[in-house]
Amino acid sequence: MRNQKTIKKAVSASGIGVHTGNKTTITFKPAEINTGVRFVRTDVKGHPVIEADVNNVVSVARGTTIGKGDVKVHTVEHVLASLMAFGINNVIIEVDANEPPVGDGSSSMFVDLIKQAGTVKQDANIEEMTVTNPVYEYMDDAYVAIFPYDGLKISYTISYDHPLVSTQYISMDIHKDNFEKEISQCRTFCFYRDVEELMNRGLIKGGSLDNAVVIGDEAILSKEELRFDNEFVRHKILDLMGDLYLLGKHIRGHIIASKSGHPLNVAFAKKLAANLISTENVKNNKCNEINNVEITDEETVLNINDILKILPHRYPFLLIDKIVNIENSIKATGIKNVTVNEDFFNGHFPDHPIMPGVLIVEAMAQVAGVLMLRMEQYRKKIPYFIAIDKVRFRKPVVPGDTLVIDVEFIKVRTKIAKVLTKATVNGKLASEAVLTFTVVDV
């Protein structure tokens, strides 16, 4: 277990709030163990405290606002993302207005404050939250999901109908150093076509090219060059981290997001709060129930290394990333994360990437193969297709999609097995088929 952490000394910075336009000073102060992250409105009588808790979210309009009663603090996500990255569990954050300063639109200001203050370990363990079964949340064509992973990894895809942005994708393990160098500097952005609407809604009163990147119809408007070619998707990781730190716990898992924003991030955080369990509980319980699915040890969850020990397939033809559930050796659920980096997208099709249907069928077959080759009678054998029946393709599968593949044996004989398979994306059926295999000795 890791120790809780706070800062060594009080530090402050000043500026304006991006949405309220109010001048504000933010001060980080050390806090005792188990304090958590607490915002204090020093400009309000009695200095009311608002805990950084997902249940205190009162608005997700172009930023995440927390509040109690009539007292609010707007746009807290950049502050919280920095605390999350540096592992700060306990801190008092005083603000003398209703929004932290925006700085340059990134979280660099808050990273600098943390480094200036220094950090100190405390004599108490942190409470981590670990994933033993996937958790999903959807809004329209956007989704966020989390899968078991030893660490924190985020894979993010954005897609806009705009030639200057289009589709951007990044996948990375998150730790303090690469957050500071590759995420914290990435600035908030908006489209010029949306500026008037945002102003009419009473937002971006403090917004300018000093603290945001504006995407025009024909050019990107900024006081400097983009800091990364894919700065926009990197900033989305920053926002997601801040919103998820409202859980108040460090997360271990692989988070995959597509087209997500603050409303979906917060909805996902609330779902995690209801579904995730602490590491200590995992250690103390043989089996745990999450999302009404029973997980009974590592035998029902196989990572990529486990899969490689079972299947003969290798790059570039290994098309599944994880087995997330096995039930009574007759059912299994597998995951295929479809990224824009897949080799087959180079030719299928360069300007309109779609996962080939035959490869979706192959991915379904590989999940069935894992289930099949774990059986005693089929070990050290190779399965061959002998029939593919009732194949249907219901919707295209594109970069950023996560295929959830369910297979179920409907007939098992000495050398022949038949399985019912289906693949879904965002809960919607993408493909289905009945596959029949025979097995041969290696």
Residues marked active site are found at 262, 348
- In this structure, are residues 102 and 18 in contact, taking their beta carbons and an 8 Å threshold? yes
Please count the other Cβ atoms lying within 10 Å of the Cβ belonging to residue 412: 15
Query: Per the structure block, which two tokens stand in for 195?
Result: 């500026």
- In this structure, are residues 300 and 306 in contact, taking their beta carbons and an 8 Å threshold? no
Locus of tokens 């716990």: 249
Instruction: Report d(CA 74, CA 143) in Å as an integer.
Output: 24
Query: Per the structure block, which two tokens stand in for 139?
Result: 């809004």
DSSP letters of 270-317? HHHHHH-EEHHHHHH-S-EEETTEEE-SGGG-B-HHHHHHH----TTS
Instruction: Report d(CA 181, CA 50) in Å as an integer.
Output: 30
Within a 13 Å sphere around the CA of 74, how many CA atoms are in the beta-carbon half? Answer: 22
Locus of tokens 């405290």: 49
Instruction: Report d(CA 407, CA 405) in Å as an integer.
Output: 7
Q: Which of 422, 355, 404, 397 is nearest to 141 (CA)?
A: 397
Within a 13 Å sphere around the CA of 318, how many CA atoms are in the beta-carbon half? Answer: 16
